[in-house]
Amino acid sequence: MGLFTSDEQIARLSRKVDSLSGQVRHLTRLVEHLARGQGVDEAVLEGFTPQEEPFWEEARRLKRAGSPIAAIKLVREHTGMGLREAKEAVDRL
């Protein structure tokens, strides 16, 4: 069994992650807006913009190509997630 013991816990954590991701996107836009207002160069801002790990895009590609097992394996290798958690993460892609 993985780190989490119930579907309810996983769903609750998934909602929390989604909420935090939204907050990060909002704060990133706010910082970019404020920085532009102060004349900060775009190149400087790029260094502070959160970037998604490249393996997630590869996992999406694998899933779209009909290889969800390969996508799950990739996610597990990069995150250390258990099988169940990785499968659920891929299902949400």
Q: What is the pTM of this model?
A: 0.49
User: Are residues 57 and 92 part of one domain?
Assistant: yes
Q: What is the Cα–Cα distance from 78 to 8, expressed in whole angstroms? A: 25
Q: Which two tokens stand for residue 43?
A: 């190149």
Name the residue range of residue 29's domain.
8-51
Higher pLDDT, 19 or 76: 76
Count of domains forming the chain: 2
Length of the chain: 93
Contact 74, 54 (CB under 8 A): no
10 pLDDT exceeds 80? no
Same domain, 58 and 90: yes
Q: Is residue 13 part of a domain?
A: yes
| Tokens coding 57 | 């895009």
- Domain assignment present for residue 70? The answer is yes
One domain for residues 93 and 74: yes
Instruction: Note the pLDDT tens digit of each residue in 26-68.
Output: 887 888 888 888 888 777 777 665 666 888 889 999 999 999 9
